[in-house]
Amino acid sequence: MAEANIEVQVCYALPDSSFLRALTVPPGTTIGQAVEQSGLLREIPSIDLAVNMVGIYGKKKSLDTILREHDRVEVYRPLQADPKEARRRRAGGKPAKG
């Protein structure tokens, strides 16, 4: 007997909007396949999966990761600033006390 299809979500957040699509996919579907099937790349053509990281529930994964029931695939935007540099700017560039 064939395995039942699984339910997953694909999401992408922008500062002023978001994309969230529920999909029913066959077992063995990868993150890359789910992103393609979701229509995200057609709706937001600036996404480049060679550059944008992907994950499931906040944990980075590769495009060939096999999905499980109720996984939420997240496509992450590139960082706008280096986190260390941003902290230094917020702290006023003060040297660390030691």
Calpha distance 50→37 (Å, rounded): 17
CB–CB of 68/6 below 8 Å? yes
pLDDT tens digit string along 47-72?
Answer: 999 999 999 999 999 999 999 999 99
Statement: residue 98 has pLDDT above 60: no
pLDDT of amino acid 78: 79
Question: Would you give the distance in Å from CA 29 to the centre of its chain?
Answer: 16
Full-prediction pTM beyond 0.85?
no
